[in-house]
Chains A and B, each alone.
Chain A
Amino acid sequence: MYRYDNHDFALVRERVTQFRDQVARWQSGELSDDEFRPLRLQNGLYVQRHAPMLRIAVPYGMLSSTQLRALAHVARTWDKGYGHFTTRHNIQFNWPRIEDCPDILEYLANVEMHAIQTSGNCIRNITTDHFAGVAPDEIIDPRPLAEILRQWSTFHPEFAFLPRKFKIAISGTREDRALTWFHDVGLHLNLDHQGEPSFRVIVGGGLGRTPIRGEVVRESLPWQHILTYLEAILRVYNLHGRRDNAYKARIKILVQALGVDEFARQVEAEWAHLKDGPATLTREEYDRVKAHFGTPAYRSLPPEDAGFAARKAEDPAFARWVARCVHGHKVAGYAAVTLSLKAPGQAPGDITAIQMEAAARLADEFSFGEARSSHEQNLILADVEQGRLHALWLAARELGLATPSVGLLTDMICCPGGDFCDLANAKSIPIANAIQERFQDLDYLFDLGDLDLNISGCMNACGHHHVGHIGILGVDKNDAEFYQITLGGRQGSQARTGKVIGPSFAAAAVPDAVEKIIGVYLAHRHPDETFLDTFDRIGIEPFKNKVYEDRAHGRAKTATTEQPA
């Protein structure tokens, strides 16, 4: 993975110095709350329901074992012994004291970590596929360009005060695993006719209050031009994006208002001035950064390890874990492994300091000392020998990191919700826990197969509910917490948002509703059909009819406990 040189170290350390000074000036009253807020947000520091929350960047999800140990130290020293992985690879700590944050960041700077631009109306952490570099369907490893984008976006002087936050995702595979169609900018790396990397540039996607699938503004952009082209996009957005209403300030609203053709015309007109300027990337820089993501010292192995096959045959629990948590790898005899952070009773994405250190140990022992955090809020060990999977499984199981549920109903994406977050309308973790409790039977879950259930505690959609096959959204109704359910959303190349099924539910009714939805699937499915296949074939009506069977015309049974969608 990328390692800092003196320049990189100097910048994060200068940031710590700057932030320490800002905190001190805020404490002395020299900086008002309003003046301090955007500054602390651009350094990942929120003031939350119970305590501040500090969000640490994990650029495109890459973590070294050293960094995992440092995060464990932070959790133990300055927090309550755990952290939470977000849907943007980052990790957040929910209980630090504001005055400790400069010390935390100074400590993390030593292991090449920071909180720069993890919040605020600026360019955020670049996200990508958690199998980058090892995926069998990968065309180009996106990480060198993701790192180049990280550096370019860090303290970009022109784009520090955009109308709203700006999220970029990049993928280099045939199947999109980075939700690129639902980002402010989505980038698809491909090879052009000369075999050179080029980008498809997608603009104006997003979840949140107004979910919109992005649109292509340029089908093929040679890689050297990515920075100047992004500067053109951002300049058009910075000058013309709405600033009068925070809910209409994302670039997707501008793209919709102008129409994608006019937006693209303005970008191209701006780009004509920037193209071939000094920000044009050089082969030397690409090669310099790419060298950091070189091939680890893989051994030459047979594609199928005999011992691995035997273990699977004799141990159904191991086979089950392999079926869900072990993923294909481009190198023969190797596999990528998900260490699940979705154990029953645990808040999805939460990880204890003990687990962080254990994951670091497993990374050292089994995967060249590196791990990744996924946008689905799990950890990944990307380079494990097949023959060692059983040993890894035994170790991970001891640590509560081997829940064999990846891609199943209980592998939920879930935001921190009303238990922690100030923005939330409703709690999300107790809903996740109630669903986990209801659907504990592994045979049943395996029989259901691939099913994404995503939960957000408000329409900011941090839990990506729009793209869950089943999406659950917390809404506020007269100060009571209700939950709206959507069906048919999905990630990937065919990414789209789900449809609202009908009136919302009280918290206690959500597991029943989910169970009824699943019942409809089980009753209607053809052999080998996934939930989505069945949904696409039969449509939303049968689900609606079942879920609201005791209600007249899909309306709320009693006006006092339900609200219209």
Chain B
Amino acid sequence: MSTLIKNQAIIPDTWQHLEPGTDPASQPLPEADILFPVALWQARKNEIISRYKRIGLWLEPDAKLEPLADDLHYFQVIAIHFPKFTDGRGYSLARLLRERHHFEGELRAVGDVLQDQLFFMKRVGFDAWALKEGKNPAKALHAFTTFQNPYQGATDEPTPLFRRRNP
């Protein structure tokens, strides 16, 4: 089973990504904790809600959040996919999910997720990470404390340094 970094620990990951099928209407739904692709969720929302206790959502970086805004409370987990670690759209999606849509479930980064991006990801609201295959999560744990007191506000600390710097 793959692992996840969460709460400064390495834990087993029970969630599975379901690759989008050609036809969401007829795609078989396995019995497991599933991160559903958006098209599948949107096509079979009622069925998924009635069949699954725990529901996850998988977002590609070009996902549109507005059409999902009213559904977010169904998801225990939202995974944002980083096809390449240099594709920074997921950072904005994460902030929007947390700050604008007030998503309070687990927000995990998946895909090309590397140690050197963890600090930034934590700042924009991610709280779980599935590191790229082959990367050692134990060695990555210290990355969350790279900078003690960054300048700008973000999801983890909305108050920018300048508001705390001046007594």
- Between A and B, 27 residue pairs with Cβ closer than 8 Å are A7-B161, A14-B146, A35-B85, A35-B114, A121-B88, A151-B151, A151-B162, A152-B151, A154-B151, A157-B91, A157-B121, A157-B152, A158-B95, A159-B88, A160-B88, A160-B91, A160-B117, A161-B86, A161-B91, A227-B160, A235-B92, A238-B89, A238-B92, A278-B159, A279-B153, A279-B160, A288-B165
Q: Which residues of B contact A (CB under 8 A)?
A: 85-89, 91-93, 95, 100, 114, 116-117, 119-121, 123-124, 146-154, 158-163, 165-166
Chain A residue contacts of B91, Cβ below 8 A:
157-161, 238
- The smallest beta-carbon distance between A397 and chain B, in angstroms, is 43
B166 partner residues in chain A, CB cutoff 8 A: 282, 284-285, 288
Main secondary structure of the interface of B (DSSP, over half): loop
> Which residue from chain B places its CB closest to the CB of A161 in the assembled complex?
B88
A243 close to chain B: CB less than 8 A: yes
- Which residue on B lies nearest to A156, using beta carbons? B152
Asked whether A14 and B89 contact (CB < 8 A) given A157-B120, A278-B163, the answer is no
A157 touches B100 (CB 8 A): no
Give A1-35 as 1s and 0s: 1 = Cβ < 8 Å from B's Cβ atoms.
00001010011001101100010000000010001
Residues of A within 8 A of B (CB): 5, 7, 10-11, 14-15, 17-18, 22, 31, 35, 38-39, 121, 148, 151-152, 154-163, 227, 235, 238-239, 243, 273, 277-279, 281-282, 284-285, 288
CA distance A155 to B158 in the complex (A): 15
A7 with B149: CB separation less than 8 A: yes
Task: Please measure, in the bound complex, the distance between the C-alpha atom of A279 and the C-alpha atom of B150, giving whole angstroms.
Answer: 13
Q: Would you call A281 and B162 a contact (CB within 8 A)? A: yes
Q: Are B151 and A11 in contact (CB under 8 A)?
A: yes
Collect the chain B residues with CB atoms within 8 Å of residue A155's CB.
120, 147, 150-152
Most interface-central of B88, B153, B160 (chain A CB within 10 A): B88
CB-CB < 8 A to A156: which residues of B? 152
When the two chains form their complex, are residues A279 and B152 in contact, meaning their CB atoms are under 8 A apart? yes
A160-B120, A161-B86, A278-B153 given; name 15 further pairs at CB < 8 Å: A5-B165, A10-B148, A10-B149, A11-B150, A18-B146, A152-B151, A152-B152, A157-B119, A158-B95, A158-B120, A158-B124, A161-B88, A163-B88, A227-B152, A277-B153
Closest partner residue, chain A, to B150 (CB atom):
A155
Cβ contacts under 8 Å, A238 to chain B: 88-89, 91-92
